[in-house]
Structure 1
């Protein structure tokens, strides 16, 4: 089996064919969850699965499982997958690669008439991106019980359309109860979405864990006043106080290397007028670390700084944690399977902790799980210019093939 390889040209062709659905003028893809374009993408992938001899099952949140039987029907399937929904200005590879790499594994096994002991399944999960409906990673989250099916069904987009209704409309509101579908092990192949692999000149990223994160909404309330007549010492400038906190977010992250992350990505200034001292500033805070104790320390550091800033400035400062995911370490057996496959195939590699969320986080709550990263150009993702080399895509899929075969066994 050591000589077994996938067909890289066929994998690339499938990626380019799927990318035509929702293609944008800049070369990206806009295929939001549960839209007509999402239905077209789902139908195409499911059709390819049926052509490959896979049986199809769909659960109530629209997660799709495409199954290749093994010789031992008592064994739980070894599953691989990701998602095919995209950001509004998304690329061709984020999520899509993980699904079509799984399909290419199946096609390769079919061509070589290889029967596995455990079944092999390719899954794609509903609304991973969260760009139309929140929460993100919705399908896998419902599957593992992180939140209820009813909560997911009730989520609405900006037009008031609900997940439950849209699933039914596009024909992907299945009957299987989420979480009832067994998983023996789970692997997810993905572009890195960061610059580490490319910078190091490595082909494969072995992913030991995904960073935990805490998201916050912060509001600083001062008093708007005329920019000319109001002396500097008598101002209640919400923006100047807010920027102190923003700088501290970055400083906190730098205090806890190498995996500390601190970002302010959204800022709203009121009244946002050229000659008015800002009276209110709302902004987001994003803290991440792969170490749970350090993430908690970062959280406490930030709250302490805000308390001190509140006392020093005399302004009202509100802070609310709106989301929290603990770090997710992957299973040692799956990590080692990826390492062994990479070494056997002769690819250069390094460990890369994921800074982004993936469906594998929720799958890992139910079964041993692991991830495989490949480089993406300039580390850019969630962008229409997202790009990856065909050779790297092929390499990642080869590693997936051998890791899954190790886990599933050959009859």
Structure 2
């Protein structure tokens, strides 16, 4: 996509209203507020409906048209001078973790809304239309897969597969959408997107540690997730000599350390995590006979990710051989590394420079809706710091001035991509 030069006066001085953005975030955070100051607003629950209804009401107050597709994604559209052009889109999600915070996802949605409010107040009309998207079930706390709405939109998996998924109580996505009134009518019909930007808190400590306000996101780490099962043999803890044991937990403990070593060997972007362990029979005086653990490996490029995969499998084979046990390795999730569009990334960097904001290049370690949108449209992300790098936690926090700064970068990046009516530009895409 061609990025337009639209930041000349008077638009170079255009700024969003940080106080209004903060007030909107705090109002949305009241829906599902927790005692510890966080938010619990799971996907497709009555609280999710209430949050969606609030966003839709705000969008309609601006004169936006609102459309809901058949997986429940919500699109608020501000018309452009050339409505035949594909929209420049921004957005994120408003569903949260059970012990979530006020900013993860919510910031991206309401920063987009604040951009539209700012343009409406200033009387600025873009060449291409603008859209703010609320993607369904990004968190995956109630339904899997994660990033469901954007995944269906981008063709990562089918609508039928997503609608059939059920929560722990047996309720399907299709049933939940209908119950909250967000089952869109007609075919899915994903529309063309000219460019997609997503503003987000970093969910990590890098920006804060380097005292930078804007993260210019180069792309997202690739991910491979595994279920690893160690099959040993249960035996009595007392009569069984140490050199006669086939202790599955002892092998699993060594593999956990190996996962950490593999990630450290692929610095700075290598990641390795064992987040869940199940021990059988989990009895005080029985040698563990079976241990299942999850392994999460991440890297910035496919070569590194493949090397980490090979090292994990080699470690499992060698551990099994040495201990006389069996180790099964099953890959259950794969997201390839996703670079973002160079022109849009540069638009984010240029926006930060124009606004006089400190910035640095970063890579996203987490998955976001932008990762799927990048498969179907030029995409970029804007990160702002979060306190102590903490997210997916009720104490998640961000400074109002940082949120405002990221929103201003989003404003100018979207203007650069969409073009401005009357600015002498004939084509915004």
TM-score by length of 2: 0.95
CA offsets 1:310-359 (integer angstroms, 9 cap, x no match): 11111011110000000000000110100110000000000110000000
Deviation beyond 3 Å, 4+ runs, structure 1: 176-179
SS of aligned partner of 1:31: coil
Q: Verify the 8 A CA contact 1:210 1:328 in the aligned structure 2.
A: yes
Q: Which residue of 1 aligns with 2:158?
A: 148
Of the structure 1 ranges 138-147 and 222-231, higher mean CA displacement relative to structure 2 is found in 222-231
Matched, 1:190 2:233: no
Q: Which residue of 1 aligns with 2:179?
A: 169
TM-score by length of 1: 0.99
Q: Which residue of 1 aligns with 2:80?
A: 70
SS of aligned partner of 1:2: helix
2: distance between equivalents of 1:230 and 1:307? 25
2: distance between equivalents of 1:74 and 1:37? 36
- Which of 298, 307, 316 does residue 306 from structure 1 map onto? 316
- Which of 37, 50, 65 does residue 40 from structure 1 map onto? 50
1: distance between equivalents of 2:192 and 2:407? 23
Alignment of 1:380-391 (within 5 A): 380-391=390-401
CA offsets 1:231-281 (integer angstroms, 9 cap, x no match): 100111100011111111111111111111111010111121222211111
Q: Which residue of 2 aligns with 1:377?
A: 387
1: distance between equivalents of 2:26 and 2:224? 36
Q: Which residue of 2 aligns with 1:49?
A: 59
Instruction: Tell me the matched-pair count.
Output: 411
2: distance between equivalents of 1:46 and 1:327? 33
Q: Which residue of 1 aligns with 2:5?
A: none
Matched, 1:406 2:416: yes
RMSD: 0.8
Q: Which residue of 2 aligns with 1:123?
A: 133
Alignment of 1:219-258 (within 5 A): 219-258=229-268
SS of aligned partner of 1:65: strand
- Which of 287, 294, 297 does residue 277 from structure 1 map onto? 287
SS of aligned partner of 1:122: strand
Report the Cα offset of residue 188 of structure 1. Answer: 0.1
The gaps in structure 2 that reach 5 residues or longer are 1-10, 422-429
1: distance between equivalents of 2:262 and 2:418? 44
Q: Which residue of 1 aligns with 2:7?
A: none
Of the structure 1 ranges 30-39 and 268-277, higher mean CA displacement relative to structure 2 is found in 268-277
Q: Verify the 8 A CA contact 1:57 1:176 in the aligned structure 2.
A: no
The gaps in structure 1 that reach 5 residues or longer are none
Report the Cα offset of residue 176 of structure 1. Answer: 4.9
Q: Verify the 8 A CA contact 1:218 1:284 in the aligned structure 2.
A: yes
Q: Which residue of 1 aligns with 2:340?
A: 330
Report the Cα offset of residue 179 of structure 1. Answer: 4.8
Q: Verify the 8 A CA contact 1:94 1:191 in the aligned structure 2.
A: yes
Q: Verify the 8 A CA contact 1:58 1:176 in the aligned structure 2.
A: no
Report the Cα offset of residue 178 of structure 1. Answer: 3.2
